[in-house]
Structure formats: structure tokens, C-alpha cells
Chains A and B, each alone.
Chain A
Amino acid sequence: MVFKRTYQQSETDLLKQYKSTGDLNLLGTLYEPYMPLVYGLCLRYLKDESKSEDAVMQIFEQLIKKLRIHEVSNFKSWLYSFARNYCLMELRSSGKTITVSLDENSFMENELIEHQSFEDNMLEAKLSSMEKCLEYLNNEQKECIKLFYLDQKCYKDICEITGYDISKVKSYIQNGKRNLKICMEKNGNG
């Protein structure tokens, strides 16, 4: 945790320094650790290796300008939205119909990432009060959430235990988690 904080601290410093100096070395230091993530993300949307490689470089090119203008507080979540939008624009301009399945969870993603630190601290701490809320979930969600969070099983194992398809397991967990959060926020306020 300490390491993470200092890392984020230095990220903020790098962003500030880059904004005032425009030194590409600083931007490179900032961007390089995220390149595997950006590349993977591009692979997901563009489904083409050479296009994804170019996209990684093009995104860097755009960062050169954007980060001199914009004030960015959370670089990671900002970069995620930016890279994702870039890929979606690429798809649109290439004239392909976008076949990316925007599963229901995608709409929560930004919300999730913003509340990440909140969840880190709160979700784990309130496991006990969560058990009460667990009872409100439907059976599939309850089963998968229990296996995933309490028994710490991976998706694959959960598939074997329950017999559900892996994509089903994923969505049960994601939706179950969202419902749990809503339930717990209600309890927290009440």
C-alpha cells in the first residue's frame, strides 16, 4: 500500500513536470509501465496485432499534446478511458460495425475505477455485514460470490463446481458484487 501511494505520488509529479516542461522522457516514464495494458486493451477491441501496435504508439502521440493541456488527477483511469475511446473511434473510422460486446458491466467500469480505493478499504472491512446482504441475492449470484470471495476460487474452478459457463460465472459475480454494494450502501446510510 505504501509503495502504491508513493508510486501514485510520483505519477502525479511526473504529470505536473511533463505539463510544464513537455519533456518526452517524463511522458515515456509515465507511459511505459502501461504499455502492456494498453496493448492488451487494443487487442481486445481492434483484434489485430499490427493495428494494436500502431494504436499504442498513436495513443502516445496524442498524450504528448493532451497531457500538456489537461489536468489529470488519476492517470490510470484517465488513460483507460482515453485508450478505449481511441480504439472505438478507430473501429468506427475503419467502417466496421462495432461488434464489441458491451456487456452490462462495461457501463459500471468507470464508476468502479473511481471508487476503487473506497472499495479497497470498505469492501474488505465490511465482510461481515455483507453476509446479511448476500441473502438478498439470487441463488446463482450468491453461489458464485461466495465461491469467489469467501472460498477464493478462480473462475475456472467455479465453472467446474457449479457447472455454469465461464461468461455466466463472470457476470453473476460482477452483478452480484454490484447488488451487494448497493445493499451495503443502503445499510451504511440507515
Chain B
Amino acid sequence: MEMDNTYNIIRIQQYLRGELTPEEMNQLERQALDDPFLSDAIEGYAHKGVSHAKLTLLQQRLQDRIAQQPQERSRMLFNSQRLGIAAVACLLFLLSCVLFWMINTRDAKTGQEKVTLELKTSEPIPSGNGLSIARKLTDKSAAPEIGWEAFNSYVKKNMRAANIGKDVVILSFEINEHGRPINISSSKGKSASVEEVKMLLENGPIWTGSKRADVEFVFE
């Protein structure tokens, strides 16, 4: 007694035209009573009549609409392709960024190492090679602006060896705003040697890096 879901439009038409037997009409009416969809459709067709031409046209429109699908699909495919390319490009960009960063940080590290090496070489070489030499006794001590090597050359060149002989002199002094050594005091050394080194300091290069210096002079 159930009609299948492919509603027989012809039966609706026959019903509306009164071409069905009373039993068949009753059957359709019962069905419509259980099926508001069918009931509404019958009522709609009752007003306007069943037009097969219009229904065929509608089917054609539906098929046309479905036929548009491949275009839409290919457009979508194209879009997803583009998306893929964009993703790969992004990944490559990120990778190159990371690589670039890694190389840069490695360079920076080697640079730092170079700096520390330079700092080490700038430390005065300990005595023992028979030359007169000056070196700082504390880390905080000021240093000659020209560097310890040049300062040593200056000392070696200008000292009067007859006044000192073999001696070790330790001097503490302050640096004024012009970089000149002032208030020089000694904690070690013969007075003649101390006077000679004081003279060398007062006539020597200017000092930088700190307000105070503690320097040892070894004459051999």
C-alpha cells in the first residue's frame, strides 16, 4: 500500500483530474494523511495543475547545475595546489631563516673567543728575560694608555740604569682627571730607584682605566 519514494506525479495528476477509482483515491488520500509532504504537494498542484513540461525543465536545470561541478572542483583543486605551493614556500623561508640565524650565532661565538684571546695577549708578560719590566699588581689597576709593551719600552729607554741597578719597586698612585699620576707612594724598593721610577712616571704617558694604579717594576 506504500508508494515508493519516487512519487508518481502521474498519479497525483490522475487524482486531481478524477481519473482514479474511488479505492485508488482513498489510497492516495490515506497516504497523504500520513505524509504531510505529499499532502502539501497535492494541494499545490490542485491550485495550479500538474505541468510535466515545467517538471522536465526543472530536471534539466538540476542536471545543468550538477554539470557545473567539475569546473568548481578543478578550481578547488587549483586552490589546494596553490595552497600547497604556498606552504612549501613558507617552509623553505623558515628553514633558510633558521640556517641564517645558526650561522650568525656561530660567527658571534668565534668573535667572542677572539676578543678573549686579545685580552689575554694584552696582559703584561712576566719578567725573567733580563729586561726591566712593569706590570700591574691588581686587576683594578689603571694601565698606560699606550699599552704595557710601549710603556716598558719607554721605561727601558729612559731609565738611568746607574740610579737603580738590580731592584724591585712597587708604587701605588692615583690618576688625576688628565690621566697624570699623582700622590705616588712606594711600598718597596730603594729610595734611589723609587725616585728614578717616580720621575719616569711623572714624565711618562698618561694612564687610563681606573683612578688608582698599583704597579711593580722589576729591574734586573
State the A residues within 8 Å of B (CB). Answer: 1, 3-4, 7-8, 11, 23-25, 27-28, 31-45, 47, 49, 52-53, 56-57, 60-61, 76-77, 79-80, 84, 106, 109-110, 112-113, 116, 119-120, 148-149, 152-157, 173-174, 177
Contact = CB atoms under 8 A, between A and B. Distances in A.
Interface string B73-96: 000000000000000000000000
Nearest to B24: A154
B36 A154 contact: no
Interface string B40-56: 11111101100100110
Contacts of B40: 40-41, 44-45, 80, 84
Contact of A37 (B38, B63, B68): B38
Nearest to B46: A44
A60 to B, nearest CB: 7
Interface of B: 2, 4-7, 9, 12, 18, 22-23, 25-27, 29-30, 33-45, 47-48, 51, 54-55, 57-59, 61-63, 65-66, 68-69
B47 A43 contact: yes
B59 A44 contact: no
B62 A39 contact: no
A132 to B, nearest CB: 21
Nearest to A87: B40
18 contacts: A1-B2, A28-B63, A33-B7, A34-B7, A35-B62, A36-B9, A37-B37, A37-B38, A39-B44, A41-B41, A44-B40, A52-B44, A56-B58, A79-B37, A80-B36, A120-B34, A156-B25, A157-B22
A120 B2 contact: yes
A148 B30 contact: yes
A154 B4 contact: no
B65 A76 contact: no
A100 B44 CA distance: 12
Contacts of B29: 148, 154-155
A116 B33 CA distance: 10
A43 B45 contact: yes
Given A33-B6, A56-B58, A154-B25, A47 B36 contact: no
B178 to A, nearest CB: 85
A110 B39 CA distance: 13
Given A36-B55, A53-B54, A43 B48 contact: yes
Contacts of A156: 18, 22, 25
